[in-house]
Amino acid sequence: MAKIAILGYGTVGGGVYDIFNNSSFLKKTGEEIEVAKILDIRDFPDHPQKELFTKDFNDIVNDAEISVVAETMGGLHPAYEFTKSLLEAGKSVTTSNKELVATYGPELLTLAAQKGVRYMFEASVGGGIPVIRPIASCLQANDIERIAGILNGTTNFILSEMIDKGSEFEDALADAQQRGYAERNPAADIEGHDACRKIAILSSMATGYFVDYSNIPTEGICNVSLNDVKYAEKLGSAIKLIGYSQQMPDGTLYACVAPMLVKKSIPLSGVCDVFNAVMVRGNYLGDAMFYGRGAGKEATASAVCADVIDIVKNGAAKCPILWETDKIKMMAPEEKEWSYFVRTSAGKEQINEMFGDVELIDDVVSGEVGFVTSLIKEKDFVQAVNKLGGTYIKVLEA
């Protein structure tokens, strides 16, 4: 019998409990997995196993029978201190906490390796989608040249509700919160910070160096309007919040999070609702796409439990240090070339003077036009568009 504990009995932690309580993994692992203790600050007097709950972390870290702990409480503190103590005590930890992985991942992975235990975080990116393991193992023969992903379920759900059902932003957000998709502070979702932490984790894995999310320019979906969506449709595209990173020939990394126009010919454009998708481009494989539910109780718990099952089945074998504590050098974002979709009330002559002979869309909003530029460095574009006046969105290259 493998005894495990759960830290944080919320959306994800509750899902982890349900899976281990309702399913037997005896055939897959050779032993039953039992939830022996649950840490939460709330009381659960009506829970059928209320005796499992504790408010004292020491009850878990000092329990020699518990070998694996699922950390699903979220936030940096005390999750960081708890995780460190558990690894130091020789217990493996699995987590859905991307903020913790993006901030302290290399330190915790190194500690786990020193202690001969595992620190696993499949659920930290893309909810239930297998993407961490494929990058860490199946794609090893490749240099990962580019990652482009829809990495936040809440914002993709909101955009889908607004586009498909004409829902108001606030109503769609409230619905996402009610379904358990959103972060405790949903600003992390709608302002892009959650997607930023996830692209930082994926990029760290892809490069082997620490990608500090505070160095990634990040924009959320707050400024996307229904008129932008109408223009996107005219252009045979959809608007998606994209986490993007690219290894540049000089060894630097470019990364950003931003709403982007995605052509219908690119599979990411068809990813709707709470679904996420990550397109990874390897130098030998070309593009591969990982797709599935990016948030929610059962989908996320499925990934946390898979990590627990892996540890129970395969033991706390050598923990790979997936990326170093050294930071990668980031490319100056203003040097990166993009095409941009622009909306402006400026005249044709001025537009042509600045951006060449672009095709103008003049039948979506009266008094303005929309157009797509050719590839242009961000700094040159921003200078030109500031003179022209208007709003803009990046266009994802195929």
Indicate which single residue of 160, 218, 300, 302 sits in contact with ligand NDP (rule: CB under 6 A).
300
- Tell me the two tokens of residue 316: 């706390």
3-class DSSP state of 266: coil
Kindly write out the interface string for residues 54-73 of this chain, putting x where it contacts ligand NDP by CB under 6 A and - elsewhere. Answer: ------------------xx
Please say which residue, 122 or 368, places its beta carbon nearer to ligand NDP: 122
Rounded to an integer, what distance in angstroms lies between the CA atom of residue 11 and that of residue 72?
A: 9
Minimum CB separation of residue 337 from ligand HSE in Å reads 29
Q: Where does this chain bind ligand HSE (CB under 6 A)?
A: 127, 152-154, 181-183, 189, 194, 294-295
User: How many other CB atoms sit within 10 Å of the CB of residue 374?
Assistant: 11
Minimum CB separation of residue 208 from ligand NDP in Å reads 24
Q: Applying CB under 6 A, which part among 2-10, 110-118, 130-138, 339-347 lies near ligand NDP?
A: 2-10
Rule CB under 6 A: which of 178-207 touch ligand NDP? Answer: 180-181, 183-184
Strands 2-7 and 66-71: parallel
Does the footprint of ligand NDP cover residue 9 (CB under 6 A)? yes
Minimum CB separation of residue 296 from ligand NDP in Å reads 5
Q: Cis peptide before 78, with omega less than 30 degrees from 0? A: yes
3-class DSSP state of 371: strand
**What 8-state DSSP symbol labels residue 41?**
S
Q: Residues 172, 390, 196, 151: is their CA dihedral positive or negative?
A: positive
Output the CA angle 117-122-125, nearest 5 degrees.
Answer: 140
Q: Applying CB under 6 A, which part among 5-13, 162-170, 238-246, 349-357 lies near ligand NDP?
A: 5-13
# binding residues, ligand NDP (CB under 6 A): 26
Rounded to an integer, what distance in angstroms lies between the CA atom of residue 163 and that of residue 110?
A: 44
What's the number of CA atoms in the CB half-sphere (13 Å) around residue 247? Answer: 20
Task: Check: CB of residue 373 under 8 Å from CB of residue 351.
Answer: no
Does the footprint of ligand NDP cover residue 74 (CB under 6 A)? yes
Find the helix packing angle between 153-165 and 169-178, rounded to 10°.
Answer: 130
Please say which residue, 82 or 181, places its beta carbon nearer to ligand HSE: 181
Indicate which single residue of 27, 41, 48, 250 sits in contact with ligand NDP (rule: CB under 6 A).
41
User: How many other CB atoms sit within 10 Å of the CB of residue 169?
Assistant: 17
Residue 154 interface partner, choices ligand NDP, ligand HSE, none, CB cut-off 5-8 Å depending on type: ligand HSE
Catalytic residue annotation = 198
Does the footprint of ligand NDP cover residue 45 (CB under 6 A)? no
- List interacting residues with ligand NDP (CB under 6 A): 8-13, 39-42, 72-74, 78, 96-98, 123, 127, 180-181, 183-184, 295-296, 300
